[in-house]
Structures are given as C-alpha cells and as structure tokens.
Amino acid sequence: MCLIVSDDNKSCLTRDAHLSKICLEILTHLTYFNNQAQIYYFLNGIGINRLVKLVSLFWLNVLYLQKLKLCSMKKRALITGVTGQDGAYLSEYLLSKNYEVHGIKRRASSFNTERIDHIYQDPHMQDRDFILHYGDLTDSMNITSVIQEVQPDEIYNLAAMSHVKVSFDTPEYTANADGLGTLRILEAVRLLGLTRKTRIYQASTSELYGLVQEIPQSERTPFYPRSPYAVAKLYGYWITVNYREAYGMHASNGILFNHESPIRGETFVTRKITMALSRIALGMQDLLYLGNMSSRRDWGHAKDYIRAMHLILQQEKPDDYVIATGVTTSIRDFVRMAGTYIGLEVSFEGTGPEEKGYISDLDEKVFTSRIGEASLELVREKVQRHKAIVAVDPQYFRPTEVDLLQGNPEKARKVLGWQPEYDLSALVADMMESDILLMKKEHFLQEGGYRIKSYLE
C-alpha cells in the first residue's frame, strides 16, 4: 500500500483503490475538519475495515497537520522601527503581499504611531495581520521574548537612532541601540533555535563609506565611518556578516543610500527643505537655516528602497547589497529643485557661513497653480527687495562631515532585479506636493487661531 500526498496538498495517490477513494473523500472534506476528534468521527461515519481505518487515521492526521500549516501559511515578519519612515512603508508593502506583520514600537509619553495609524488594527479584532509589540533594542530580554512569541520567518531590523548629527550628542546610546541592538537580535534568533527558520535583514547604511575611498561606492569599497552613528552601524554590519558565516544564518545587509519621502523625519535635510519652502511660499516662514550646503547625497525614494529590503530576504543565499540610484546631488541643488517645483528660481550668493539663497525669478503661473494667489504679492516683494530665504547656521555643521555619497547599485540590479521607479525630480515633486498640502492645512489652522508646530530645528 502506498500513499503520496503532494506538497501543495492538492493531489493524493494510492495503489489501493479503496483507500484511494477514501483519501479523495478526505481531501474533499479537509476544509471542514477543525480538530482531530472530528477526523475520528468522520472515519467512524464511513464503514471501512479496521486496518484501512488505522492507515486512514494516520494519513488523516498528516493531512490535518498539513491543513493547519496551510491555514498559517502566511509568512510572518517582525519589523523593528515600525513607527519610522521605512517601517511604515515596509509594513504596508508586506501586508499587500499577504504577510502577517508584527512591529516593535517604543513606549512614548505621547502617540508615536502617526506613520502607521492608517494600518493600525484594534487588538480586539479577530484574525489581525498587523500586530504591535512594545519593545526597545536596548533591552535584550524584551527583544528575545518578542522574537520567541512571534517566531518570525523574516526580521527586518530597522530600529535605530538614525540621525547622524544627533549621534555626536548621544554616542553611547547610539552604540547601544544601533550596534549592540543588532547583536541582540542575531543572538536571540540563535539562542531560540530559529537559525534555520528566521531570515534577518540588517539596515546598514552608505554612512559606512564616510570619507569615501572610491567613487561610486559598491559592496567592495572599503568603509571609513565618520560619526558615532556610522561607527555603531559598522558594528551592526560586521556582526551580521559574522553570524552568517559562523552559524550559517540567513542574515543580510542592505547598504542603503539616503532615501526620502513625504513621511521622512522632519529634521533630515530634504524634508526640512520641502517643508520650509512650502511655508515660505505661504508666508508662514521667512528664512530656512541650513548647515553644509556643498555636501552631496545619492537620494532615492523610500518606497523603492523597501522593495529592495524584501527582495534581499527572498534570495536563496544571504548576501550584502548596495541600494542606490547612482546619481549624486548637492544640498544646494536640492533647494533649487524644490524651489522650481513652486515656480521659484533660487540663486546663491556668498561663501561659507555668509552664503545666502534668494528668489532670483518667479514663475507666477507655476506659483499660483501650486500655491495659490493669496501669498503671491508677498513673494513678489521678496524678489524685488532681494530678501534672503536661505541662510547658513553653523550649528548644523558636523564635527566630521561626509562630503559625497554616490552608490553603484549594479549588483542589486543584476541579482535582485531591483530598479528604482522614482528619480530625484519625481521624489522632490512627491515631497513638495505633500508638504504644500500639510502647510496649507496648518496655515488654515493658524488663521483660525490654533497653535501649530514649529519646524525650525
């Protein structure tokens, strides 16, 4: 007697005709069985001899277990840093791919879930596929117990103190969260015996290249970190490689270059610029203060970059990949591009801390179509009076700067088949469109006498 149940549980072959008939019936009924007692009653209900009944019982149990597996065949992902820019986009993306998504969020004195509120599911809901857990990367026991509870197929370690300038103010905390935090995740997976089951994505960064040794930077370019953040991330990078080599874990690094979006943190330079220009255009702010405007970054859209994270974990073999656009642009040019989107030509005069940006030309048609007419006169006046809209504040200079980043995404293109959909002007347009809307809303509130946020950090 022989019975073969295929992997996808759709076909069932047996050399015994009688058993074959029963098995077919079993497969037909499979979806109705909710526990093993029901299987037993089902067998009693169909008149068959004892031996066949025993064999059938055995296979029914196998099928029942398969059914359980089938029911829970959704992949389960755990995202640390779920409340951040990338965590929010990645959650949406994995949910659209039918994952069960678990996220670790920090306890805060006020709500910190603004970026994921639209996908939040009430804990009282049945069959949730988006579940949040309290946690912190600096707490080993917490990390271990969340991983034990979730038993994830994939972990995306996105949590970090991610601001380069702030890492000079909080170097020890940054090392703890960004460096040791990565170790805590790897070690928890190892100690819990999940080495074979759980794949790990580590959010590495182009900041590792720091004082760049080569242009453009690829997976083979030596690292030269230039901030406590980058040094902490260097540890995260190498401990991921080490656990992969030492324990055969499916652990990979995505070396992601700067990626931005309408939900980028407000103190990163791109978002600071798109918010400020929107406010200046609406007459809500006079000056945008920046630090080093000569540094260059390879900017992409976060929506494209989270697709790469997922692709990296779908590869048979773990590996490290540069994710970038290959195009580098200065901060100054980003300001110009954001200005162009609303019909402002921004030109710069002076050097060093004395440098200033002015509106040298105004395209009124573009301005009114994007911003409206209400503040047109105000902007005309800024042009006529040659009033600066951008100035330098040395408090934004960094003790050690990363002057130029430009990635070479060739390997990701070839191996992952990854290609960005947004170029820089599409990214700027997306951010400006969103921030104009936001600032119009705030302007309306302000006019109505309500207090609004101050974004001048």
Cβ-closest position to ligand NAP: 84
User: Where in 39-191 does DSSP place strands (E)?
Assistant: 76-80, 100-105, 130-134, 154-157
205, 221, 274, 325: the catalytic one is: 205
User: Given CA atoms 31, 34, 35, 39 in this order, what sign does their dihedral have?
Assistant: negative
Q: Is 205 a catalytic residue?
A: yes
Choose the contact partner of 290 out of ligand NAP, ligand G4F, none; CB within 5 to 8 A by kind.
ligand G4F
In angstroms, rounded to a whole number, what is the distance separating the alpha carbons of residues 300 and 307? Answer: 12
Contacts (CB under 6 A) with ligand G4F, residues 367-406: 396, 398, 401-402, 405
Q: Is 381 a catalytic residue?
A: no
N-terminal to C-terminal alpha carbon distance within the chain = 76
Residue placing its CB nearer to ligand NAP in the complex, 84 or 225: 84
Phi, psi of 420, rounded to the nearest 5 degrees: -70, 145
Choose the contact partner of 203 out of ligand G4F, ligand NAP, none; CB within 5 to 8 A by kind.
ligand NAP
Q: Which one, of 112, 146, 147, 118, lies nearest residue 130 by Cα?
A: 118
Q: Judged by CB under 6 A, does residue 162 bind ligand G4F? A: yes
In angstroms, rounded to a whole number, what is the distance separating the alpha carbons of residues 27 and 201? Answer: 38
Q: Judged by CB under 6 A, does residue 164 bind ligand G4F? A: yes
In angstroms, rounded to a whole number, what is the distance separating the alpha carbons of residues 369 and 63? Answer: 63
Q: Which one, of 407, 435, 456, lies nearest residue 204 by Cα?
A: 407
- Sole residue written with tokens 């990645």: 90
E strand or H helix that includes residue 242: helix 228-247
Q: Is 92 a catalytic residue?
A: no
Exposed/middle/buried for residue 82 (C-beta within 10 Å: 0-12, 13-18, 19+): buried
CB of 264: closest distance to ligand G4F in angstroms? Answer: 8
- Site pattern 189..218 for ligand G4F (x: CB under 6 A): ----------------xxx-----------
CB of 215: closest distance to ligand G4F in angstroms? Answer: 15
Q: Judged by CB under 6 A, does residue 268 bind ligand G4F? A: yes
CB of 138: closest distance to ligand NAP in angstroms? Answer: 5
Choose the contact partner of 106 out of ligand NAP, ligand G4F, none; CB within 5 to 8 A by kind.
ligand NAP
Choose the contact partner of 325 out of ligand G4F, ligand NAP, none; CB within 5 to 8 A by kind.
none
CB of 418: closest distance to ligand G4F in angstroms? Answer: 17
Q: Which residues are catalytic?
A: 205, 207, 229
